[in-house]
Amino acid sequence: MYALAVLGGVPTGQVLHDSLRSAVARVMGFSLQRVVTAHWTAFRSHVSLEAFYSQTGPRGAHEKGGVEGQFDWFRRNHLVPFSKLDSFEQFNAVVDPWDQADHARRLLRHVTSPDSVTNWQRTP
């Protein structure tokens, strides 16, 4: 519930996600039909979400990789190594300032010439 409070509430409308284990019990072969868990169905019904899934395999790699890359960046820069904490409240108190600072971080693409490789620069 703390995460939803930080996010400003429950998302509304459509939510894109991959076949996360807590929501999808099984993907049915080549048809890619999902068998969803009862808990996920109950949660979606309770908050009126329409879930749709990212594409699997190489066609959908770009949809999932960006989010995982952001998580990995945050983990490497803030949580490794990480001290033992006694409670989730203490964890949230430590992580919240990092999360707010990271949320303000932007990546801007700068092309130096028409033939150059795109360079990414972090700006405050």
> For the chain, what percentages of helix, strand and coil (3-state, to nearest 5) are there?
50, 25, 30
Q: Please state the domain extents for the chain.
A: 1-53, 55-108
Distance CA(2)–CA(92), nearest Å, equals 9
Q: What is the pLDDT of residues 7-28, one digit of tens each?
A: 788 777 777 777 777 888 887 7
Which tokens is 13 given?
Answer: 């409308």
Q: What is the pLDDT of residues 103-120, one digit of tens each?
A: 776 555 544 444 433 444
Q: What is the pLDDT of residues 46-71, one digit of tens each?
A: 888 887 777 766 766 666 666 677 77
> Which are the contacts of 91, defined by CB distance < 8 A and separation ≥ 6?
85
Give the pLDDT of residue 86. 92
pLDDT beyond 70 at 123: no
